[in-house]
Chain A
Amino acid sequence: METIEVKNPFELVTASKLTAQEAIDLWCDDKRLDRVNNKENCFINGHRGTGKSMLFRILQHDCQSLLRPTTDADFLAVYFSVRDAEFLTEELELFQSDAQKSVISESHFSLLIVKQLFVLLQGAPALVPNAHRKELIALLIACLRNAFQYCTFKIPSIDEQNFDDFLKSAIVAIETERSRIVAYIGLRLYEATPFSGPLFLFDTLLAPISDFFDDTLKKCLYILIDDGDDLTESHTIVLNSWIARRRKSAVFKVSTMFGYKTYRTRSRSAIQHPHDFALYDIATRYMSNPAEDYVDLLSAICTKRLQSAHIETSPGKTDPYEFFPEDIEQSRALEALDQKLYEEYGKIYEGRKVRDYVYRHLTSEYVKQLAQSRSPHSFMYSGFRTLAILSSGHVRDFIICAQLMFDYASRQSPTPTPNRITPAIQNRVVRDHADEVLGEIADPRQKRGLHSTNEDWEEIKRFVEGLGTLFKQKMLSDDSERRVFSFAFQDEPNEKLKRLLELAVAEGYLMKGYISRKEGTGRRTLYVLTRRLAPAFNLDVSSYSGYLSVKSDRVLDLMQHGASRAPDGASNLEQMTLFDDGSNTPDQWVFISPEEAGL
């Protein structure tokens, strides 16, 4: 009997490895691209799996040609993946103590980027029209002559007649010089000889070439540095120094996972936001608009993936909301409770306050009912919207969970390809995933090199557990506002606390947002617990309107003692502050994204 292999529509993909067509087929999110597609230096911060590399993939020439076939773009993106290059070697790490590191790193980095540019031209030579090819050839030869004038090595031969051959010989020449540097760095382990090869600096290679593209071809070079945190310190300083020049012909777009080593430049000053670069925190953008943008984005991604696997959720239709249905029993119970609360609150409150309080308390009351019946874990996390919000901006997390759900559903489905995932499977997978995320907090594996210790992660884990427990108690309280997922400080946290919170942010356990008074004065930092952990504490993810205002001593206490210091009746200890729903407090605060906060 022939076995039909079921294609899981939620297999993971690596954006940088997609063909242009594959990337375009999967691409859904134009809004985020607009933030990056401009002639500004820019840092894009986001955790693994939030879509940074996909933005870079789409900016590249081959994708742009498919997306906008009739438009001649005014930029040319040169993609450079730090992880794919030779940066992650111990030789380079040890070279950081070498006196020649700055100048060698600059030469190395210039060559790597220019090589990427020429490789790109090799695939698309028409980017340089015939009329301007001789200029580019002459320019490169001049750059080489300049670099070789102070060394004894022979200037490489560059083909000047045929453009294809020119590109080929240019790449060979650049590669030879790159290899010379890499070999030299290896040699420094055991030989104390000075570098005798040619040096290629920004002013003598990258800048003249980018000026040619900008002045002659009217294309600004976007130099896309993917995984910028993995650059060595000396290369990071070189890159910062280039950014500090703010040259209009070459702008740098750097993706990081919050672990960028330094903002120092070679002149020991630092590049600063917004003076030298824009900053875009890719995962928090949806927080300012109650999740809808992100849910829409995931819905589009999900639809495309299901369609590519030819999955219809109903005849002629592919709808993620149908593919990941809500639990009907729970929905009915919530509807009945909604009605009951509406009647009860109608006797206490007036006007829109009735609906407002029902909205605020509905899930809380439902979970209380479950708790009374000793089955709090029977709260079902299901439905596309819930799953999307649970992934907390981490597209990859959503895909990983959906992949597992599909696997489970395939085994249970009477047909080879399931056309929906039961709420029970959805609930099981996201609960397991939350436990896994919680368990990994104290595990030093795969934590990025941020000078952290195991003790730091133990403290962060205890804090997250304490915070989750606190939020859960708030949800089960009889307080006016019970939907809390974030906190802000009443006082200035000490350096240790700030460092630990930064670590938690860097690893995606907390997200950093900002709140501002509605009239625009004042700004406070808000720390938001990742919704990925909600099922571990049986928290409702539907909507959150409040934050806890806490003293730093309280947070330190949670770090030391964890959930045991989250007392019953959290409102006794924590001052509750509301934002976004206006009427309840004279101190009106609204959530703003880091970009809106001007950060």
Chain B
Amino acid sequence: MATSTSSCFIGALSFEERCTLAPIRFVQSGGNTDSVHLVKLAGDSPQVAENVERFKKVGLTRFPMSDRFSSRSLWDWIWSVVRVAEGDVDVDATCLPREVLGMLLFALSVRRQKLNRIQLLYVSAPPSPGGYATQNQSLKQEEQWLTKGVVTIRSILGFPGNFDSEKRRHLVALAGHEFERLLNIIVFYEPDRLSLSSERKGTSTVDGAGDYSNKVEVELRQELRQKIPLPKIEEVSFSANSITATYSSLEAMQLDSVNENVILAAMNTKLSFVGAALFALHERNMRMVYAVPERYNPLYCQGVGKLQEFDITDLIKSAKTRAMGSI
């Protein structure tokens, strides 16, 4: 694994077994354990304890806790790691919540002058049996969910956008398996324009995921009409399995963030989220939003899929954020 030379590895300790694969490989291939920064966002549970044991076996023992409900707490942890990062950085996106991932990408873009190569790692869900709870037929019906409840809806730190009372709101929503959270975001923002779609056919990271996203999209269209004055729904094309394809698709939409308050709600895969966040690091007028879930399903994803690596150096280096120390 090429990441062993990196001076900084950032990931999460989670209740999912998937969180262990990339950090352990990093250490086993010669990476320094002191370079590994794994944040603990989940509460204690048998699954978390099991993962801690797995990490301990390779010498990873530090898991600073951060409060996922507090953006201040999340940012303090992220900035404590990134403000001193130099050289090559690996980001394991697998179990970092989208909000943390967005803040992290923003922080890296601010620190870009000190960084060489930035690599994003992602461990996909395994195919059935196992995988995402929403698709896992071995689970009971009432267990087939990813998250429940929405505590709050907020902009992601680093992506405030440039809003103006005079402009109309255009919400671009990438639908995935999270019906409730995306519904809440759309209702909260009550957009004048709504672009809403599930992933492009054939781009799912795991078999059957696209069908489920599609179902969510259809349900959203039905439910929304009862909640808000609903504009004509436009399409948004994106790829669940590609950062760059999602970036390019959003770029091709020619979103008018000068004349509209553009809001991005990327609720499909982590990879499409990263594509959207990188895009928003270049189109700074856009706001990225996040619905903080009340709780996660402990059975969120069972098993471990394939580890993939994506080089995002160029997209981070060319970000339009103000680099640290540039003023």
Chain A residues with CB under 8 Å of chain B are 11-14, 17, 79-81, 84-86, 88-94, 97, 112, 116, 119, 179, 182-183, 186-187, 189-191, 193, 400, 403-404, 443-446, 449, 454
Task: Judge if B218 is at the interface, Cβ distance under 8 Å.
Answer: no
Are A444 and B229 in contact (CB-based, < 8 A)? no
Q: Are B327 and A193 in contact, CB atoms less than 8 angstroms apart?
A: yes
Question: How many A-B residue contacts, CB cutoff 8 Å?
Answer: 94
Q: Are A190 and B165 CB-contacts (below 8 A) given A14-B190, A90-B155, A91-B157?
A: no
**B163 and A85 within 8 A (CB):** yes
State the CA gap A139–B183 with chains docked (Å). Answer: 47
Q: How far is the CB of B5 from chain A (nearest CB, A)?
A: 27
Question: Taking the nearest CB of chain A, how far is it from the CB of B269, in angstroms?
Answer: 23
Contact check, A89 vs B160: say whether CB atoms are below 8 A apart.
yes
Question: Would you call B215 an interface residue if the criterion is a C-beta within 8 Å of the partner chain's C-beta atoms?
Answer: no
Question: Whole-angstrom distance between the alpha carbons of A191 and B279 in the complex?
Answer: 24
Give bound CA distance, A186 to B327, whole Å: 13
For B157, give the chain A residue with the smallest CB separation: A90
Contact with A444, one of B157, B192, B294 (Cβ below 8 angstroms):
B294
**5 interchain residue pairs of minimum CB distance:** A89-B160, A12-B229, A86-B163, A84-B165, A89-B155
The distance in angstroms between the C-alpha atoms of A86 and B160, with both chains bound, is: 8
Q: Which of B83, B165, B184, B287 gathers most chain A CB within 10 Å? A: B165
A90 and B71 contacting across the interface, CB-CB below 8 Å: yes
Q: Quick check: which of B144-152, B198-206, B306-314 contacts chain A, the rest being far away?
A: B144-152
Q: Check A444 against B151 for contact (C-beta < 8 Å).
A: yes
Q: Is the CB of B165 within 8 A of A116?
A: yes
Known: A94-B75, A445-B150. A89 touches B229 (CB 8 A): no
What is the distance, in angstroms, from A12's C-beta to the closest C-beta of chain B? Answer: 4
Cα–Cα, bound, A116→B154 (Å) = 25
Q: How many angstroms from the CA of A187 to the CA of B151 in the assembled complex? A: 27
- Cβ contact within 8 Å between B226 and A445: no
B-side interface mostly: mixed
> Which of the listed residues B155, B184, B187, B228 has the most CB atoms from chain A within 10 Å of its own CB?
B155
Contact between chains at A94 and B71 (CB < 8 Å): yes
Which residues in A have their C-beta under 8 angstroms from that of B226? 400, 403-404
Residue of B nearest to A97 (CB): B72
A56 to chain B, nearest CB (A): 12
Measured CB to CB, the closest approach of chain A to B149, in angstroms, equals 6
- Cα–Cα distance between A444 and B151 once the two chains are bound (Å): 7
Contact of B149 among A12, A97, A191, A443 (CB under 8 A): A443
Those of B168-204 within 8 Å (CB) of chain A: 168-169, 180, 184, 187-188, 190, 192
Give CA–CA (A112, B163) in the complex, Å: 11
Given known pairs A94-B71, A94-B157, A404-B226, the reply for A191 and B327 (CB within 8 Å) is: yes
C-alpha spacing A179/B165, complex, angstroms: 14
Residues of chain B lying within 8 A (CB to CB) of residue A12 = 228-230
* A-facing residues in B228-255 (Cβ within 8 Å): 228-230
Contact A88 B154 (CB under 8 A): yes
Whole-angstrom distance between the Cβ of B259 and the nearest chain A Cβ: 13
Cα A14 to Cα B110 with chains together (Å): 39
B contact residues around A190 at 8 Å (CB): 79, 83, 107, 110, 324
How far is it, in angstroms, between the C-alpha of A403 and the C-alpha of B226 when the chains are bound? 8
From A14, A186, A400, give the contact of B160 (CB < 8 A). Answer: A186
- Chain A residues lying within 8 Å of B11, measured Cβ to Cβ, are none
**Is the CB of B156 closer than 8 A to any CB of chain A?**
yes
- Contact sample, A vs B, 11 pairs, CB 8 Å cutoff: A12-B230, A13-B229, A84-B169, A112-B165, A182-B162, A190-B83, A403-B226, A444-B150, A445-B149, A445-B150, A445-B184
